[in-house]
Structure 1
Amino acid sequence: MPRILLDTDGPVATVRLDHPPMNAFDSLQREALSACARRLADDDAVRAVVLYGGERLFAAGADIKALAAMRPEEVRGWNRALQRTFDEIARLPMPVVAAVTGYALGGGMELALAADYRVAADDAILGQPEVQLGIMPGSGGTQRLVRLIGPSRAKNLLMTGRRVGAEEALRLGLVDEVVRPDAVLDTALGYARRLAEGPPAALEAIKEAVDHGGDVGLSAGLALERSLFTGVFGTQDAAAGIRSFLEHGPGKARFTGSDGDA
């Protein structure tokens, strides 16, 4: 049975989790997601990605029954592999949008955190409930969450394991947009299509500057920004964008994705 469905519509790819009933992450689900991420990373035609779990829910986390049967040394390898898979999603060069319906808990929320933008249904429930099992998040929850909403708010969610509704998640900055459940996928796809019309090299550079610049000091971050800016400036898309601005005004450039010398 497929665990991941990949659908490409022009420059936008939709990655659909397909492991009913809860889209729990077992080894097969993780391996399928990892293979999908590698395929997308090598596909120059894809300019934006949407992560989707279906109309009912996004993902409810790890397969607890499988986890309970593991020895500590097995858990270490399983956790390392799942963390690496979510890193592959986070490192995709193009923008990634999570379309969150229903539950996004544990590993499901950690996958949503690996996206660049999150659209949630107004009845969605998000959380990192691992502490209620006597454990902790291990696939990016403690690291990406604190970078997204700050240490105090992150500790509150992580240490209590409480679940939050969509409106509170929006106030916390955990999600970026809240819409009706039947509008989640269309909203995410619309945003992805809009991003896909942008210059791919510039979008990739912005993502790298934001994601990696925050992990270093200000001076190193500024140096990274300078290097990326110089590289993007030499692309054909940059030349086309500047020429369009001078001739027609802002917001009218058409980008081809060409990244060679201008």
Structure 2
Amino acid sequence: MGRVHFSVDGHIATIVLDNPESHNAVDAPMRAEIEASYKRVEVDDAIRVAIIRGAGNGSFCSGGSIDGYLEIKAFGPDGCGPPKIPRPHGSRKPYIAAMLGYALGGGFALALACDLRVAGRSAEMGPTGLKLGAVQGAQTISRLTRLIGQSRALGVLLLSKRLKAEEAERIGLVHEMVDDEAVFDTALAWARTIAEFSPWTVEMTRRLIYEAHHLSFDEAIAWEDRIALEGYRRPEALEGFTAFKERRRPKF
């Protein structure tokens, strides 16, 4: 049975998937612990950003535990289907995926659910659904299409491609590829940068990016203008501009 470890350092939460015997595949107890971790990130106002990673120097996550799927009777005419986990998009706070080794199937979906992805050179990622006789699910298709476009998503999904980190970076699926030993330090550096910003401005920036795509261009601009105006009326903006003028770091 795997475990999920949750820790907080300052404004940064770290969620560690720990099931090394199966490349950090997620079993039923781990699913519950991941959901609990999401809730802790959401309700704790001291937390401003979260990192998801695999334990040790092993894989990020090789997907869902097949034994776990059998236990919950996911298959068959009356099957309940795959369990739902990946969902940081609805969070008020950003998530960073720190990827080593495998990020496959549900693990690939979990990485896609994060806002930022840093991958080590050894990382391999991709869907597994078609190879297993299933539609990928876990929000993979919708997220992947929005991230890399319809044509590239079709290539990855219909060919069930396993992408190396270099190709994933080239097509914009991974924000940065680094040496394996630098993955967690890079994720932490990104998290520290985000944690210094105003939580409200980070939340609104994410909302504008994720939710404006279904609007017309004029509607999206109008919404962005309203949010920008609201931001200038908040104390964070006054503090930020005052700090810049006084040549000091702002306190958000």
Calculate the TM-score normalised by the size of structure 1: 0.88
For residue 238 of structure 2, give the secondary structure of its aligned residue in structure 1: helix
2:59 counterpart letter in structure 1: L
* More displaced 10-residue stretch of structure 1: 226-235 or 67-76: 67-76
Deviations 1:179-198 (A, max 9, x none): 11111111101111111111
Which residue of 1 is the match for residue 170 of structure 2? 171
2:250 to 219, 234, 254: 254
Report the alpha carbon displacement of residue 66 of structure 1 after superposing the two structures with TM: 3.5
Mapping 1:204-243, distance limit 5 Å: 204-243=203-242
* More displaced 10-residue stretch of structure 1: 61-70 or 12-21: 61-70
For residue 153 of structure 2, give the secondary structure of its aligned residue in structure 1: helix
Which residue of 1 is the match for residue 25 of structure 2? 24
1:74 and 2:79 equivalent? yes
Contact between 2:121 and 2:178, CA under 8 Å: does it hold in 1?
Answer: yes
Mapped partners of 2:77, 2:137: distance in 1: 14
Contact between 1:205 and 1:232, CA under 8 Å: does it hold in 2?
Answer: no
Q: Report the identity percentage.
A: 35
Report the alpha carbon displacement of residue 24 of structure 1 after superposing the two structures with TM: 1.8
Q: What's the RMSD between the two structures over aligned residues?
A: 1.8
1:154 and 2:150 equivalent? no
2:167 counterpart letter in structure 1: E
Report the alpha carbon displacement of residue 134 of structure 1 after superposing the two structures with TM: 1.7
Contact between 2:2 and 2:29, CA under 8 Å: does it hold in 1?
Answer: no
Contact between 1:53 and 1:101, CA under 8 Å: does it hold in 2?
Answer: yes
* More displaced 10-residue stretch of structure 1: 113-122 or 2-11: 2-11
1:61 to 39, 63, 77: 63
Which residue of 2 is the match for residue 10 of structure 1? 10
For residue 20 of structure 2, give the secondary structure of its aligned residue in structure 1: coil
Contact between 2:53 and 2:99, CA under 8 Å: does it hold in 1?
Answer: yes
Contact between 1:98 and 1:188, CA under 8 Å: does it hold in 2?
Answer: yes
1:10 counterpart letter in structure 2: G
Mapped partners of 1:3, 1:126: distance in 2: 22
Deviations 1:93-147 (A, max 9, x none): 2221110000000110111111111010101001112111121211111011111
Mapped partners of 1:233, 1:222: distance in 2: 16
Mapped partners of 1:73, 1:44: distance in 2: 41
Calculate the TM-score normalised by the size of structure 2: 0.91
Which residue of 2 is the match for residue 104 of structure 1? 103
Contact between 1:67 and 1:75, CA under 8 Å: does it hold in 2?
Answer: no
Aligned pair count reads 247
2:24 counterpart letter in structure 1: N
2:113 counterpart letter in structure 1: A
Which consecutive unaligned segments of at least 5 residues does structure 2 have?
Answer: none
